[in-house]
Amino acid sequence: MDQKLKVGILGGTGMVGQRFISLLENHPWFEVVAIAASPRSAGKTYEEAVGGRWKMHKAMPEAVKNIVVMNVNEVEKVASEVDFVFSAVDMSKEEIRAIEDAYAKTETPVVSNNSAHRWTPDVPMVVPEINPEHFEVIEAQKKRLGTKRGFVAVKPNCSIQSYAPALFALKEFGPKEVVATTYQAISGAGKTFKDWPEMVENIIPFIGGEEEKSEQEPLRLFGKVVDGKIEKAAAPLITTQCIRVPVLDGHTAAVFVNFEKKPTKEEIIDRWENFKGLPQELELPSAPKQFIRYMEEDNRPQVKLDIDFENGMGISMGRLREDTMFDYKFVGLSHNTVRGAAGGAVLCAELLTAQGYITAK
């Protein structure tokens, strides 16, 4: 790419916004030129606006420290500075839908981490290795919005990343019933232990709205495009329990599954280890070389040891064995704020750029 695309981060001061800023440091195609947040932060430099609330392990990139934060509600002004935006705004669902549509209507593509648009029929919700063909609905969406290049695309919830890709890789065997329990890190709620002391040595067996997302979103991912809309898949039937655990980063899932046609253990491991999609074929900058790996050791994957596999963009599976009630059970681990949030959105934007949906204005 001759010149980098100019990127804005909406909601740049929060946990996911910070993750976008951190992942985009030295990105070969994209350069952060604008950061927008609430009116409270507007007018301050990014460094001042974040203050002591920088939550990434890596230091704040020098290149963004002096960017003056803009008011996210001044849509035209922010949009005039960028080729496209990532959205991690923290508002009500109605407000998020309205503001993301408003940016799209200024002819600015929006790649969003938010859940607000995940069930809008002509908004693609994509994991680039699983359902890149869903980007086709962008044409129908542009007609609805009356735009030429502006649209909204989203990525799914972080909780499903540790099992949905693993089930998709086994689709030839027809996964039909799935029971998944997720053990979700506190960064999924945008928190650290400092801001959530109640989570130290504790487990909270409730995450608002999470079980519905974890049961339904995989079906939209596995669905197909019909007449410019996504039609969700009918199978597998999924039931989940989502539990908050005292871990900073890393969502683990313990999964039981029945198949139409029961594979062997060797077949499952083979399909996982060899699973590839368009990002690998196109060698997109953030694509993991290996998306899914299988770990033979009985005590893996572990959050502390395995979360950064493929820079947080790969997922780790383990403990695959036959079960007394189901065909198989296994454990999966993914990085919730990288693959599960900002990293997943960056990979979507890379694919959208490679396919010509995102261009310089």
Ligand X SMILES: N[C@@H](CC=O)C(=O)O
C-alpha–C-alpha distance, residues 274 and 141, integer Å: 34
Q: Which helix (H) or strand (E) holds 154?
A: strand 152-154
How far apart are CB 167 and ligand X at their closest, in Å? Answer: 18
In the complex with ligand X, the residue whose CB is nearer, 89 or 207, is 207
Span near ligand X by CB under 6 A; candidates 6-14, 153-161, 173-181, 216-224: 153-161
Q: For the CA atoms of 227, 347, 217, 212, what is the dihedral angle to 10 degrees?
A: -140
C-beta nearest to ligand X: residue: 188
207 binds ligand X (CB under 6 A): yes
Prior bond of 121 cis (ω within 30°): no
What mask, x for binding ligand X by CB under 6 A, covers residues 279 to 318?
Answer: ----------------------------------------
Span near ligand X by CB under 6 A; candidates 26-34, 154-162, 266-274, 278-286: 154-162
- Interface residue with ligand X among 90, 122, 210, 350 (CB under 6 A) is 210
In the complex with ligand X, the residue whose CB is nearer, 199 or 352, is 199
- For the question of residue 348 being annotated catalytic, the response is no
189 binds ligand X (CB under 6 A): yes
160 binds ligand X (CB under 6 A): no
How far apart are CB 211 and ligand X at their closest, in Å? Answer: 11
DSSP letter string over 175-210?
A: EEEEEEEEEE-GGGGT--TTT-GGGTT--B---TTH
CA distances from 189 to 17, 95, 115, 116, 252 (A): 13, 19, 13, 16, 15
CA-nearest of 51, 42, 50 to 71 is: 42
In the complex with ligand X, the residue whose CB is nearer, 240 or 336, is 336
* Interacting residues of 250 by C-beta distance below 8 A, sequence separation 6+: 185, 303, 307, 333, 334, 335, 336
Span near ligand X by CB under 6 A; candidates 99-107, 156-164, 167-175, 305-313: 156-164
How far apart are CB 155 and ligand X at their closest, in Å? Answer: 9
211 binds ligand X (CB under 6 A): no
C-alpha–C-alpha distance, residues 336 and 269, integer Å: 23
Q: Where are the alpha helices (DSSP H) in the chain?
A: 15-23, 46-50, 62-65, 75-79, 93-105, 138-145, 164-168, 210-221, 265-273, 278-281, 303-306, 343-354
Q: Is 237 helix (H, G, I), strand (E, B) or coil?
A: strand
Please provide residue 214's backbone torsions phi and psi, each rounded to the nearest 5 degrees. -70, -30
- For the question of residue 27 being annotated catalytic, the response is no
How far apart are CB 74 and ligand X at their closest, in Å? Answer: 27
Query: Among the options 158, 242, 335, 348, which is catalytic?
Result: 158
188 binds ligand X (CB under 6 A): yes
Span near ligand X by CB under 6 A; candidates 144-152, 157-165, 285-293, 348-356: 157-165
In the complex with ligand X, the residue whose CB is nearer, 53 or 206, is 206
- Interface residue with ligand X among 18, 184, 240, 334 (CB under 6 A) is 184
Query: Among the options 117, 251, 335, 348, which is catalytic?
Result: 251
Q: Is 49 helix (H, G, I), strand (E, B) or coil?
A: helix
Q: Is 342 helix (H, G, I), strand (E, B) or coil?
A: helix
- Interface residue with ligand X among 75, 79, 158, 331 (CB under 6 A) is 158
* Interface with ligand X in residues 319-358 (CB under 6 A): 336, 340-341
Distance of CA 301 to the CA centre of its chain: 20
**Mind telling me the catalytic residues?**
158, 251
- The binding site for ligand X (CB under 6 A) comprises 157-159, 184, 188-189, 207, 210, 336, 340-341
